[in-house]
Structures are given as structure tokens and as C-alpha cells.
Amino acid sequence: MSRLSTTGSISPAKGNRSFMARFSREKLIIGAVLCITFLFFIFFLFGPLSAIFGQMFVENSLSDYTGFDAIVYYLQSPSILRSLWNSIWVSLAVTVIVIPLAFIFAYALTRSCMPFKGIYRSIALLPLLAPSLLSAISIIYWFGNQGVAKGLWGLLGIDSIYGAPGIILAEIFAIFPHVLMILVTALSIADQRLYEVADAMDTSRFRKFITITIPGAKYGLVSATMVSFTLVITDFGIPKIVGGSFDVLATDLFRMIIGQQNFQQGSVVAMLLLVPAVLTFIVEYRLRKKQVATLSARSVRFTPKNHFLFDSLMTLYVLIIACLMLCMLLMAVYASFVSFWPYNLKLSLLNYKSVLIDNNLGKTLINSLTLAVSVASLGTLLVFVNSYLLEKTQDFGKLKQIIRMMTTLPIAIPGLVLGLGYIFFFNSPSNPLNFLYHSMAILVFCTIIHYYATSHMTMTSSLKAIDREFEAVSQSLKVPFYKTMVRITLPISLPTLVDISRYFFINSMTTISAVIFLYSPETELAAVAILNLDDAGDVGGSTAIAVMITGISLVVTIIYYFIELWIRHANKRWAN
């Protein structure tokens, strides 16, 4: 009996030791991955930002001032103040114009019964697939010194497209889809009951718009306004192409670093560019905390009613905007096949031959594809694993809180500032990571950091929608967390992961501001080649590369679309 009782008492003890060993091993794995994530952001985000700040305190032969005295000194410079004012008023002008245009477009998509909404929306979002430089190049072909419609621009009393007018017009086309997506989301969430009560009280359409629609979309409007202002004031490509002698902060920063090698003054300008981005981040954060749910469990989703006159007007407006978008895109496509604009308009492949064969710039497209595939795969993996550990695991509360703050910070860092920080940080001989400088790896890490915040917030929202009971049941059954993550959470999250992967890929193909300081002759990207060819006077070649980037992005988007269809079909079979 004693042997039986002794044997019986050993088995639970062994089971407990086995459970504790497994639990400790899982905790060790989670802690190790979180520490790696923490170090990743320290080295590739906070390190570069601190290097920019530290550069202001480095003695410079071009100035007798350092630190905060240097900031005061440079802010008293007439050229800096002029560029700062130019950046502010141009950004305000673009925002004031693009917000009403995008709002009416979004209102037509969500509140009317017009046909072909999906087609119009897809056309409006086409600029997302192209480098922002494409709109600037198209404007030159339309309204430049040798433009097709140069006379039309002159009728408006504007002598030249180069300068503020060209920047404003090009930015409107480049920023429009970003603002549209925010406003469509804001206007899509509405309670039908509020409008039914208003109809019962015989309220006019205008009063319903002022008292119901606008208040319901106010957070989206504020967010779209802040995003528009920030994207314009920190943009580098469009002012570089069509800005002429009109100086803005972004082009000043590029000239100071590349042309003058004045790193101290460049760091001051970088700090100035950080201000609007940080303010936007703070405002959006406060808005998210104040925003309450528009739809409750008893809400009825808004369904627009047929109204012939209203639907006809909305269709006409949307058709005009869609045609303007297509004119911008198709002009670039047409010009890329023109032999020699505007003297020989015969269609040929001369520009493509010049780019791919004569200048041997086909490697830049390969480099861009390499960057995009690497960022899409590695970035998506990092976002998923990190988001899962932050949202679905226990312990390490303080470390998780710090990492959450780190993951949202990149949204407030302009790409040009981030790239400049990478120069100061990784180019230092004392940095053990100096070997990454001028490699493809540094481009990959910089691009991941640059676009990480939006992807992380998307993934976090998706994971929060998945019931925590999956993890609770797995833990009670002593199933390791990584098996739950791979077998349950991963299949459920596949649609979101596809969206994140596509977001990383497209932005990696079209980005320029974050990588303009970091490439080498061996790692030159296609978007950077557009700038270099334009500087060399080869506008046809730069247009051809921009069109090829857009074409690649469009093909990849279609591939992602079919992947999404396959996932939806697989999920339906799994549900049945």
C-alpha cells in the first residue's frame, strides 16, 4: 500500500513540475521576443532620432553656434523663415482645397444611390499606386513651358506652373486618396434612426446635413485635415520636381545635407519638420480617446434613398473628379511613349530603351522589388508577432506599455527626418551597426519603421476583435501559446495580414523621402532614379520609370485581390 500511495503521489508532482517548466519556457520566449522588439526600436527609431538632436550640439565650421543657440541663430535666418512660411501656407492652401473636394466625393459614395461606386472609388485611389512624383511630372506635361494646356493655365493669370501653383496642384492629386479613405470611413458609420426622426419632423436636407452628418463625421474631418497638412508640409518629391526656385523646408533640408554638407543646420530644419507631425499625432491621439461609438447594438446602418436630382449631381461631380484623376495618370503613360516631347510626338519605346538599356536602370526596378518583397514579408511578420504578444499574452506589463508607445511613434516621424537620422546614427564609425550603412538591409529596416505604426494599429484592431477565450481554453489545455497563435489566430487574421502586406509592398515601391539619403550606387531604387533623371534633364526617362512603378504596383494589387478572394472562399468552406 505504501508503494502504491508513494507512486500515486509522485505523478502529480511530476505533472506540476512539467507544467511549471513549460510555463517558464513560454514566459522566457515571450520575454526574449519582447526584448528583441524593444532593442529593434531602440536601434532603428530612437537611436536615429537622438542622433539628429545630438547633431545640433556638434561644432560646425559653418557656424559659431551649437545646441539651442544654433536653433535661435538659424531661425533668425531670412531664408529659413521664408521656407518655413512657404511650407505652412502651401500646406494650408492644399488642405483648404482638398478637404471639401474629398468630402463631397466621399459623401457621394456613401450617401447617394449613384451607379458604379466601386469603379469611381478605385479610380480615385489610383494615385496611391504611383510615386507622388508622377502627379508633378504629369502637371509639367499638361501646364509646363511645353505643356499641352499651357494657355489654359495662363488664362487663370498664372505665368508659370513652376513654384507654389505647381506644388499645390500636384499635392492635391497626391493627397486626395489619403483624405478620401478617412472621410469615406467617417461617413460610412451613421445611424439610420436619426435621419428617420428628422424626416418625421419634416427637417430639410440642409439642416440634416448640418445637425446630423457633420457632427457625426467631425472626428474624421479633423483627422483628415491634420493628415493632409502633415503630408504636404513633409513631402519632398513634388517640390523637388515642380517647385522651381520656390523653397520649402523639405527641399532646404535636402540641399543642406547633400549640397552644403551643413549637418547642423539640417538637423535644425529636421526638428522643424517634426513639429507639425508630432502635433498631428497628439491631436489624433486625443481625438481617439474622446471619440465615442457612433453605432450601438440597436443602431440601424444608414441606407441612402433614391433621389434623382441629388444622385445625378453627385454622379456628375464624381465623374469629373474621376476624369481628372485619369487625365493625370494617362498623360504620364502617354508621355512615356512619346519619342521626344514636344518635337517628335511619334509613339515608341525610346524612353524605356533609354532607361532600361542605355542607362542600365533596370537594376533600380529590381532593387525596388527586392525592397518591397523584403519589407512586405519581414514587416508583416514583425507586426503580427509583436501585436499578438502585446494583445494576447500576459506578464511583462511595463515592457509592453513601453513597446506600445514605440510602435505608434513612427506615425509622427516624417520619412525625410527618419532617413537623416539614419545617416547620423549608422554612419558613425563608433556604431557597431555601421556595417549596415549603404546596404539593402538599412533600406529595409528604415522602410519598415517608417510604415510600421499604421500596420500595427490595423493588426491590433483585428486581434482585439478575436475573443480571448481561445487563449484561455488553450492555456487550460496546456497548449503552448505559439501553437495557438499559428493554428487559430493566424488563419483568422489572414485577411488583415494580406492588407498589411499589400500596404508595405506598395509604399515600399513608391517611397522616396525615407530612403533618399541612404541608397548607394548598388542599392539605388527606382523612385530615386526618377529624381536623378529629372535632375539630369531626362524627363521622358523619369516618366517611363514612374509609369513602370505604377504598373508593377497595379499588377501586385490585382494579385493581392485574388489572394483575398481565395482566403474568403477558404474561410467560407471552413465555416461550413
With cut-offs at 50, 70 and 90, classify the pLDDT of residue 191.
low
Q: Pick the residue with more confidence: 22 or 269?
A: 269
Phi-psi region of 444 (alpha: psi -120 to 50; beta: other; left: phi over 0): alpha
Please provide residue 258's backbone torsions phi and psi, each rounded to the nearest 5 degrees: -80, -45
What mean pLDDT is reported for the chain?
Answer: 83
CA triple 220-223-229, angle to 5 deg: 135
| pLDDT at residue 440 is higher than 60 | yes
Contact, 542 vs 534, CB < 8 A?
yes
Nearest to 550 by CA among 360, 336, 370: 336
What are the pLDDT digits (tens) for 351-362? 999 898 888 888
Per-residue pLDDT at 22: 54
With cut-offs at 50, 70 and 90, classify the pLDDT of residue 411.
confident
pTM: 0.84
Q: By mean pLDDT, which of 123-127, 210-214, 275-279, 292-296 is the weakest?
A: 292-296
| pLDDT at residue 275 is higher than 50 | yes
| pLDDT at residue 347 is higher than 50 | yes
List the grid coordinates of 290: 474622446
Place of cell 563608433: 430
| % of residues, the chain, pLDDT over 70 | 88
Per-residue pLDDT at 175: 92
Task: Compute the average pLDDT of residues 290-309.
Answer: 65
- Written as one letter, the residue type at 261 is Q
With cut-offs at 50, 70 and 90, classify the pLDDT of residue 138.
very high
Task: Compute the average pLDDT of residues 236-258.
Answer: 86
With cut-offs at 50, 70 and 90, classify the pLDDT of residue 297.
very low
Per-residue pLDDT at 118: 86
Q: Cα–Cα distance between 576 and 555 in angstroms, integer?
A: 32
Following CA atoms 220, 221, 226, 230 in sequence, which dihedral angle do they give, to the nearest 10 degrees? 90
Exposed, middle or buried, 213 (CB in 10 Å: 0-12/13-18/19+)? Answer: buried
Task: Compute the average pLDDT of residues 151-164.
Answer: 80
| pLDDT at residue 62 is higher than 50 | yes
Q: By mean pLDDT, which of 188-197, 201-210, 493-502 is the weakest?
A: 188-197
List the grid coordinates of 158: 498664372
List the grid coordinates of 387: 501585436
Q: Pick the residue with more confidence: 152 or 452?
A: 452
* Bond before 342 cis per omega within 30 degrees: yes
User: CA-based Rg of the chain, rounded to a whole angstrom?
Assistant: 27
Per-residue pLDDT at 494: 87
Contact, 77 vs 262, CB < 8 A?
no
What are the pLDDT digits (tens) for 477-522? 777 777 888 888 888 888 889 989 999 999 999 988 888 888 888 9
Q: Cα–Cα distance between 387 and 381 in angstroms, integer?
A: 10
